[in-house]
Amino acid sequence: MKKIRCALIGSGNIGTDLIYKIQRSEVLEPVWMVGIDPESEGLARAAAMGLKTTADGIDGLLPHVLEDGIQIAFDATSAYVHAENSRKLNELGVMMIDLTPAAIGPLCVPPVNLKQHAEKVEMNVNMISCAGQATIPIVSAVSQVQGVEYAEIIASLSSKSIGPGTRANLDEFTYTTSNAIEVVGGAKKGKALAIINPAEPPMIMRNTIYCLTEGEPDEEKITASVMAMIKEVQKYVPGYKLVNGPSFEGNKVAVFMEVEGLGDYLPKYAGNLDIMTAAATRTAEMFAEEILAGKIELNPVEVA
Amino acid sequence: MSHLKGRKIILHDMCLRDGMHAKREQISVEQMVKVATALDDAGMPYIQVTHGAGLGGNSLQHGFALASNEAYIEAVASRMKQAIVSVLLLPGLGTMKELKSAYSAGARSVHVATHCTEADTSPQHIAYARELGMDTTGFLMMSHLSDATSLAQEAKKMESYGANTVYITDSAGFMLPEDVTQRVTALRDVLKPETEIGFHGHHNMGLGISNSIAAVAAGASRIDGSVAGLGAGAGNTPLEVFIAVCERMGIETGVDLFKTMDIADEIIFPMMDHIVRVDKDSLTLGYAGVYSTFLLHAKRAAERFGVPARDILVELGRKKMIGGQEDMIQDTAMTMAKQRGLLKESF
């Protein structure tokens, strides 16, 4: 069966984990891995797994895009270089899945709004943040039942799973996730909190979602909606589990989740990284299915 | 008089920040002004004023205060004759936007707080505070969980981002005086001579005063505490007591002892909703090494789910939960309640 050929930009933890997930896909094939450090472990591993590699950054990939039929790229570099990467690849008709906090394209949480983006043939979609992927489905599940005045999420992450980039730019994480709780989750106001816990053995990613509903919460409907949403997320992140709740107190709904990763390249406790790569893969698959079915066509984006 | 005679230290009062925890964030702007002007009059050089969890603290996780941080800071800062108003900022909760508006409201000093092993989540905030010209402290919370050498490395990172003071923060009130001595000594060994060292104690094991003295003896020059001990857990180092001890030892604080005693008895004590003291729950925090702020949350969860607060606190300690994970208190209480047959699965 024909598969859509993909490039991975960024040879760190996320990029490397993506190779495994994309290799398992029935509609995607990882072809190129782009890095900037010829000595990096990620590039060596990619080469060993049969990918073509370059250590010359995005410019090392560009001459091969057309001949190798690359149609989808994943950017796991940084917010600072993403815009440039995206522009260069969009010009060649490659659609971009952004795993950085750059968020120049529309925000995507697969079970909430992916279909919409695929139908519109967006050429750049952003995956928000790990906390966003883990919590926004629940906010959305509540806001589908009744209005959410305010939603607040707390993501507890194991220290070992947080790289230097996120650590040095924690504010971006906070802003991006808070905004997405409103834009994608449907809350009138959103707030995101992140806690980095160094416990050994490392703790599995935990997320708490609080929603303040407009009026008294409809306990039965909200519980059903949350349970249905969890099943949707489990389709691409099997370790997405409810630990406690939904619990109701006045108009406050509390849901306590845990995210265990698949343990592909990253350890199982790093559910935060796994949910990003899994959501990005799911997003790419949706686009790939539409392309393969002839429903959408990717076209070069003209430079303004 | 002791061997510390003539040592000068800088006191930092926490009633209006750590004390917010003990008041469930319900201190009014008027009360803050009353406390702060009295402290200013007594010569207290630094007064911290924010939500208990600091900038960005107003939340379901940490509770909503009666007023915004900016409203508190502005009301207090505009009335200070000599005291500097400081704020607390935990990266991951507070952001640089909030630091900027706190600065605009009159704050000129900040504790940038991270868990003791996670100093590298603070470079943006420390650098920005320095850029604003603020007195900038790196605040290593739950310091008892790190050994002296590792803690010193984290302190060094904060110094490299621009912190002019680094605090050893005994958030759980777990440390013994020798733990404090070791850690202050380790920091003093690696930090630049001009970088100050601070100690922030909690009185859960009744050691707030002796730990602070141990810190000074090992080279700390800044001490946090709160008049009448108004703070999380069994409270902070009670400053009026600490000042009295300092006077007997010849340590110079520049703060008026009798005025501070009066503030403790006449203003702070009557404000308390519960008597902030060592009781079985706050002692459990100190004994088990649990974040002091968890106390009232655990008591509330205990009431709601029927699991004793002490059991919840011990379990949180076992699960190595750290400051900021207040959501895990309800989660833990619910899980324990299910195990004890007190709560049904909801589905």
d(CA A230, CA A223): 11
| C-alpha separations of A268 from A161, A196, A258, A272, B206 in Å | 10, 16, 12, 10, 41
From the list B117, B304, B331, the residue facing A198 with the nearest CB is: B117
pLDDT of residue A303: 60
From the list A173, A196, A203, the residue facing B115 with the nearest CB is: A196
Contacts of B335 in chain A (CB under 8 A): 243-244
From the list A173, A175, A252, the residue facing B60 with the nearest CB is: A252
From the list A171, A199, A212, the residue facing B320 with the nearest CB is: A199
Which residue of chain B has the CA closest to A204?
A: B319
Cβ <8 Å between A247 and B334:
yes
Cβ <8 Å between A210 and B93:
no
Count Cβ–Cβ pairs < 8 Å, chain A vs chain B: 97
Q: Mean pLDDT across chain A, nearest whole number? A: 94
Cβ <8 Å between A208 and B93:
no
Q: pLDDT tier at A80 (50, 70, 90 boundaries)?
A: confident
Task: Report the relative pairing of strands A148-158 and A205-213 from DSSP bridges.
Answer: antiparallel
Tokens for A249, please give them. 């107190």
Contacts of A243 in chain B (CB under 8 A): 331, 335
Cβ <8 Å between A195 and B123:
no
Kindly report the backbone phi and psi dihedral angles of residue B95, in degrees, each rounded to the nearest multiple of 5, phi listed first.
-130, 175
Q: pLDDT tier at A102 (50, 70, 90 boundaries)?
A: confident
d(CA B199, CA B211): 8
Contacts of A169 in chain B (CB under 8 A): 124
pLDDT digits (tens, 9 = 90+) for B90-99: 999 999 999 9
Check if B21 is active-site.
yes
Cα torsion A3, A97, A274, A235 to 10°: value is -60
Q: Mean pLDDT across chain B, nearest whole number? A: 96
CB atoms within 10 A of CB A218: 15
Cβ <8 Å between B59 and A152:
yes
pLDDT digits (tens, 9 = 90+) for A5-61: 999 999 998 999 999 999 999 999 999 999 999 999 999 999 999 999 999 999 999
d(CA B321, CA A230): 25
User: Hey, what amino acid is at A64?
Assistant: H
B153 touches chain A (CB under 8 A): no
Q: Which of B3, B12, B21, B125 is catalytic?
A: B21
* CA neighbor of B206 nearest in space, from B234, B181, B245, B169: B234
pLDDT of residue B346: 58
The SS3 of residue A257 is strand
A49: Cα within 13 Å, side-chain hemisphere: 23
Interface of B with A in 36-95 (CB under 8 A): 59-61, 91-93, 95
Contacts of A254 in chain B (CB under 8 A): 327, 330
Residue predicted with more confidence, B292 or B160:
B160
Contacts of B123 in chain A (CB under 8 A): 168
Tokens for B229, please give them. 């001990």
Cβ <8 Å between B347 and A171:
no
Contacts of A168 in chain B (CB under 8 A): 120, 123-124
Cβ <8 Å between B334 and A244:
yes
pLDDT digits (tens, 9 = 90+) for B55-79: 999 999 999 999 999 999 999 999 9
CA terminus-to-terminus distance, chain A: 37
Segment A224-230 mean pLDDT: 98
Q: pLDDT tier at A304 (50, 70, 90 boundaries)?
A: low
ipTM: 0.91
Domains and CATH numbers, chain B: 2-271 (3.20.20.70), 293-339 (1.10.8.60)
pLDDT of residue B103: 98
Which residue of chain B has the CA closest to A210?
A: B60
Q: pLDDT tier at B25 (50, 70, 90 boundaries)?
A: very high
Tokens for A266, please give them. 């990253």
CB atoms within 10 A of CB B82: 10
